[in-house]
Structure 1
Amino acid sequence: MTTTSRVAWVGLGKLGLPMAARIVGAGHVVQGFDLSAQRMGLAEAVGIRAYADLASAIEGCTLVFVSIPDDKALLGLTLDSGDLIEKMAPGSVLIETSTVSIEASARVAAAANKRGVAYLRSPVSGNPVAAESGTLSAMVSGPRDALEQAIPVMQSFTKAQYWLGEDEQARFAKLAINLMIAVSAGMMGEALAMARKGNIGWDAMLELMADSAVGSPMVKYKALPLKERDFTSTFSAAQMAKDLDLILGCAHGAGVPVPLAAQMREAYASLIGTGYGEDDYIATVHHTERLSGLAALQSAPRG
């Protein structure tokens, strides 16, 4: 047990709930809040103390974690109707784990600074499975002393915490990583379509990719569901499109040309437009197959 025994968690979605549950498992009291009654029920089932209002959920908590879907939700929660920052006690720490824009994050930082709240931008890399196993990676920027205060709790759901600077560095880092993931998904789609055209067995090509020089953790992780032609979403094509919009905005604002990001944004727009927006982001595979005139595989061919 650490000196921090009670924390708040706001936003109990696909990532937020398993992260908060890990904190409970580490022996801390977690006070939770979510707008969804269903998510609140799931939270109570894993030992989180669910509160019907935001102010009660954060009461007495020095550390307040947030996991929400986008800029609109972040600004609504922290600055607008939710008014989270004004409800937080001066001297407390706000740890925001989502993927949002530089501009929205900077607005929250200004409000937190005015209130006397330390603001840690702490987006995480990983999926719900990694959240459940406590193997997410956190990219963190903000006050270093606030991170030191939060690390004993963050270690329950992350394998590493990378402090990158005092300002918005973590936001840039998260968007840069997601750019690499999106482009990798496009690359896998094209490579697998080429392999099918060359009459290479589906399983054989996936195994080769995973064992090759480009066999990144992402490639290895996606090889298993791809063998089964399972496109059930861990992070959807629509979510990746949202992140690519953030990436394009960030890069253009910084004067960085990102033609690969623009190309992948169009690919995901095509997936969404043809009804596959809720498929996993690796649906670039079946998207490229269709563009290549390849018939959909109902099950993995052996060869």
Structure 2
Amino acid sequence: MNKDIGFLGLGKMGLPMARHLAANGHSISGFDLVADRNLAAQAAGLRIAESALRLVTECATIVSSLPNDDALEETARVIAASARAGSVYIDTSTVSIEASARVATVLSAAGIAYLRCTVSGNNHMAEAAQLTVMVSGPRETFDEARAIFNSWGATCFYLGDAEQARLMKLVINLMIMLTSGMLAEALTLGRKGGLDWNDMWQVISASAVASPIVKAKAAMLGRRDFSPTFTVQQMRKDVGLILDAGAGLNVPLGLTATAAQWLASAAAQGGAEDDYAYVIKVVEQAAAMDSSAV
């Protein structure tokens, strides 16, 4: 696969992913609609294209990290209209299955190979090249692009030729969100019953329920630090996608629906830009407890 890669979207996830590609010998041109992100990418040694259109026309392989369905579909339209025939488009965004399927139709008509490449992990894991990579799309294109995926993490799964990677990402994020919901109820129960906050975290971290995500949260939440690795608002978007997928497949997602309400309460209380684990405070407040400290 051509080592000249265009990277669209240089935010908290996109920039470190683009940097890892450059470190592994790829020639990277980047672009973001936010000027400050372009400056940060330039300071990190990446070349910045004049525009998204210029990037698309110059690079045979295009990677994107985008915020939502609308951004994905607009990017796909530009690629379909302007990219070279035989180009490859790899999108790493968390978007709906329906939007991704529409993009597949548009790109197929233009002769563009399309890989849905979702990643599991936060921005710190992106910085450390420790993402779990999940890919679906043409198998031959996936095989050719393995060096790209290996730049982002040691674990990569090929899941099928269509939207499987999109659905798998939603499955993972459902479990991540419900882990915070589980912690919210469990910690509130223990705290209101008189257990010490730090004692609970020590026991939980050493117990059978100490999954990697629980251990990753333990250090910060043990200090009641809700600085975001993934915000309430970002998780609300993903939970909305999960609920839509459940509705489309006739799968009842009662626990996820409850989590959506907790996230709405967190946003209403001013926690939209805090970590999604803010739902702990929501449950504490529902239990008539002081959520400001322990």
TM-score after normalising by structure 2: 0.96
Task: Give 2:154's aligned residue.
Answer: 159
Q: Tell me by how many angstroms 1:297 deviates.
A: 4.5
1:67 has 2:65 as partner: yes
Q: Tell me by how many angstroms 1:158 deviates.
A: 2.0
Check conservation: 2:64, 2:92, Cα contact below 8 A: yes
Task: Give 2:76's aligned residue.
Answer: 78
Partner amino acid, structure 2, of 1:85: A
**1:3-42 superposed matches below 5 A:** 4-42=2-40
User: 190-199 or 125-134, which moves further after superposition?
Assistant: 190-199
Task: Give 2:218's match in structure 1, choosing from 203, 219, 223.
Answer: 223
1:271 has 2:266 as partner: yes
Task: Give 2:232's aligned residue.
Answer: 237
Partner amino acid, structure 1, of 2:242: I
Matched positions, count: 294
Question: Match of 2:114, SS?
Answer: strand
Q: 1:134-174 CA deviation, whole Å, 9 max, x = no partner?
A: 01011111001111111112211122111110011111111
Question: Match of 1:140, SS?
Answer: strand
Task: Give 2:182's aligned residue.
Answer: 187
Q: Tell me by how many angstroms 1:93 deviates.
A: 1.1
Task: Give 1:255's match in structure 2, choosing from 237, 247, 250.
Answer: 250
Separation (CA, whole Å) in 2 of partners of 1:85 and 1:251: 30
Separation (CA, whole Å) in 2 of partners of 1:138 and 1:233: 22
Separation (CA, whole Å) in 2 of partners of 1:196 and 1:219: 18
Separation (CA, whole Å) in 1 of partners of 2:17 and 2:65: 9
Task: Give 1:280's aligned residue.
Answer: 275
Q: Tell me by how many angstroms 1:119 deviates.
A: 0.6
**1:16-165 superposed matches below 5 A:** 16-79=14-77, 83-165=78-160
Q: 1:250-295 CA deviation, whole Å, 9 max, x = no partner?
A: 1110111111111111111111122111110111111111111221
Check conservation: 2:133, 2:152, Cα contact below 8 A: no
CA RMSD of aligned residues (A): 1.3
Partner amino acid, structure 2, of 1:171: R
Q: Tell me by how many angstroms 1:232 deviates.
A: 1.0
Task: Work out the percentage of aligned pairs sharing the same amino acid.
Answer: 41
Task: Give 2:167's aligned residue.
Answer: 172
Q: Tell me by how many angstroms 1:78 deviates.
A: 1.9
Separation (CA, whole Å) in 2 of partners of 1:280 and 1:291: 19
List alignment gaps of at least 5 residues for structure 1: none
Q: Tell me by how many angstroms 1:105 deviates.
A: 0.2
Separation (CA, whole Å) in 2 of partners of 1:133 and 1:86: 35
Partner amino acid, structure 2, of 1:139: M
Moved over 6 A (4+): none
Q: Tell me by how many angstroms 1:69 deviates.
A: 0.7
Check conservation: 2:188, 2:284, Cα contact below 8 A: yes
Question: Match of 1:123, SS?
Answer: strand
Partner amino acid, structure 1, of 2:286: L
List alignment gaps of at least 5 residues for structure 2: none
Partner amino acid, structure 1, of 2:257: A
Q: Tell me by how many angstroms 1:68 deviates.
A: 0.5
Partner amino acid, structure 1, of 2:32: D
Task: Give 2:289's match in structure 1, choosing from 285, 291, 294.
Answer: 294
Q: 1:96-122 CA deviation, whole Å, 9 max, x = no partner?
A: 101100110011100111111111111
Check conservation: 1:7, 1:29, Cα contact below 8 A: yes
